[in-house]
Amino acid sequence: MADGIALRARLRPYAVVLASRARSQTSYRANFALDLVSSLLSGLVELAEVWVLFHAVTRLGGLDFGQILLVFGMADLAFSLANMLFGHCDRLPTYLRAGTLDIFYLRPQPLLLQLVTSDISLRRLSRAAVGLVALVAGLAAGDITWNVGTVALLVISLVSGIATFAAMFVWAGGLQFFLVEGEEMTNAFVYGGRYAATQPASVWSRPLKVVFGYFFPMAFTGFLPAVVLLDLPAPAWLPAWLGWCGPLAALWAWAMALLCWRWGVRHYRGGGG
């Protein structure tokens, strides 16, 4: 009880900032509606890409369209939600140039928590809706035996997927402390990773499997759990039981992200002025 009150007091600074961000984004109704529509369109374009690709080959990596929808839906929903909550972390140079990071240093909260809660992109909700629709369609089309196990796997994988993508954004932010023009380099991995995650890993080349299967554990956000859910044959290098290892992948991604962040903070040289 007392702990609950103490925790609420500790979280209040972050909640107040986030609430103010949400309010300012939604206060101009027409603007917000436009933002939602444009973000919805970008989600639809991504989905259309999958559809076009699929039409050219009819089967991709041994998956039919419904199965690919499931992979896309899981990975894209997780990415969109992570992007909504953490997407600004990989735009660190903007914060550095504006001196916002210096300001964070002058406040009695951890830097990373301040950065994460300094913004939220509500417009990405519509983008997440595209992922959700794809996911539901993929689930409906798939031949899935529903039981406690499959429901648990779906929920665990989604939550770990969000965490894994969130870690990617933090990882990128950490590197941007000391990589000049680091945004371009990290974007290749963050957005390349997102793209890879929405594709069946069975079509990946071996280097890709190493990079996005294990190092940046993208396969764990969509493809690997889908293999288990749909009872598909597992590809080489990525055994089926890995489908259950989303939480481990998320832990690994966060360990890497926090390491990069700490390394970056050590390199911080002040925001000029």
Partner 1 sequence: MSAIVEAEGLTRQFTVRDGARRRRVLAVDDLTTRISAGEAVGYIGANGAGKSTTIKMLTGILVPTSGTVTTCGLRPVKDRRRLAREVGVVFGQRSQLWWDLPVRESFRILAAIHTLSAAAERARTEELVERLELAGFLAVPVRQLSLGQRMRAEVAAALLHSPRLVILDEPTIGLDVLSKQRLREFLVAERRAHGTTLLLTTHDMGDVERLCDRVLLIDHGRLVYDGDLAGLSRTAGAERVLTVDLTAPSADLTGIPAARHLSSEANGLRQRLAFDAESTTAARVFAAVAERAEVVDFTVEEPDIEDVVRRIYAARR
Query: Residues in the site for partner 1, rule: CB under 8 A?
Result: 9, 12-13, 16-17, 20, 24, 98-100, 102-103, 105-110, 266, 268-271, 273
Name the binder of 24 from partner 1, ligand ATP, none, CB < 5-8 A by kind: partner 1
Q: Which residue's CB is nearer to partner 1, number 94 or number 151?
A: 94
64 binds, among partner 1, ligand ATP, none (CB under 5 to 8 A by kind): none
Q: How near is the Cβ of 102 to ligand ATP at its closest, in Å? A: 11
What's the rounded Cα separation, in Å, for the pair 67 and 70? Answer: 5
Nearest distance from C-beta of residue 272 to ligand ATP, angstroms? 6
With beta carbons less than 8 A apart as the criterion, state whether 118 and 100 touch.
yes
38-62 exposure pattern, b = at least 16 Cβ within 10 A, e = fewer:
ebbeebeebbeebeeebeeeeebbe
Residues from 213 through 272 that contact ligand ATP (CB under 6 A): 269-270
- Non-local (6+) Cβ contacts of 118 within 8 A are 17, 21, 88, 100, 104
Phi and psi at 63, nearest 5°, equal -110, 140
Q: Which residue is nearest to ligand ATP (CB)?
A: 269
Binds 102, which of ligand ATP, partner 1, none (CB < 5 to 8 A, cut-off by type)?
A: partner 1
Q: How many CB atoms lie within 10 A of CB 33?
A: 13
Q: State yes or no: residue 62 binds ligand ATP (CB under 6 A).
A: no
Distance CA 4, CA 8 (A): 6
Q: Applying CB under 6 A, which residues contact ligand ATP?
A: 269-270
